Structures are given as structure tokens and as C-alpha cells.
């Protein structure tokens, strides 16, 4: 067993980074598919988890095209995650996190 992480990037900052790196403006669904963006986010995750034990670090991450929201039923009014709703809404991304065929990437 291992951990995985769903990540909703700050798209405003990501758009500025993309523009500075010669990546044209595009929709969040498209930008998270770019290899350069995935590499950037993997680096950010690794940097932010420095000092955590190996078992606390996610083996894989999946980028989401938007943040979790109360409006979509994914958060409570106190901003707690509703795991069952998240599991339904993001089932493909969660399946990717725990797909054994690619778990070593």
C-alpha cells in the first residue's frame, strides 16, 4: 500500500509560469496534460515534502483541472473533504494513482 495525491494547481500562477516558459494560454484541462507542467508540479510536491518520511510521501500524483468545491459537493461548509463524493467525481484520477502497471513512474 502507498499514498497518492490529487492536486489542484493554482492556475493563475501556473498560467504565468507557462507564459514565461513559452507555453501558450490554454484551458486547465489541457495545461495539466503538458509534460512540462507535470514535471514542474512533481518538483513542487517533492520540495514541499522534504523532511517527511518516505511512507508519508505520495508515490504518484494526479493534477485536477479545478479545485474541490462546496458547490460540487466535494467540501463541507467548514471545508472538510467529502471523500465519497471526491471518489465518485475523480474516480479516473484516483484509478491512475493506484494503477499498478504504472506505479513506478
Q: For 5-97, where are the alpha helices, taking DSSP H only?
A: 11-20, 28-31, 35-48, 83-89, 91-97
Give the per-residue pLDDT at 1.
77
5-64 per-position pLDDT tens digit: 999 999 999 999 999 999 988 999 999 999 999 999 999 999 999 999 999 999 999 999
Neighbours of 74 (CB within 10 A): 19
The H or E element spanning position 61 is strand 60-63
Q: Is the pLDDT of residue 97 over 60?
A: yes
Cell output for 81: 473533504
Residue 47: domain span: 4-102
Task: Give 54-96 pLDDT, tens digit per residue.
Answer: 999 999 999 999 999 999 999 999 999 999 999 999 999 999 9
pLDDT of the residue at 84: 98
Number of domains the chain is built from: 1
Amino acid at each position: 500500500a502507498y499514498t497518492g495525491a490529487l492536486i489542484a494547481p493554482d492556475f493563475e500562477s501556473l498560467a504565468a509560469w507557462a507564459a514565461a516558459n513559452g507555453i501558450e494560454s490554454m484551458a486547465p484541462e489541457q495545461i495539466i496534460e503538458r509534460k512540462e507542467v507535470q514535471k514542474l508540479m512533481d518538483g513542487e510536491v517533492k520540495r514541499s515534502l522534504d523532511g517527511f518520511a518516505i511512507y508519508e510521501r505520495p508515490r504518484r500524483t494526479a493534477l485536477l483541472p479545478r479545485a474541490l468545491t462546496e458547490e460540487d459537493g466535494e467540501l463541507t461548509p467548514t471545508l472538510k473533504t467529502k471523500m465519497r463524493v471526491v471518489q465518485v467525481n475523480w474516480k479516473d484520477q484516483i484509478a491512475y494513482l493506484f494503477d499498478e502497471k504504472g506505479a513506478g513512474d
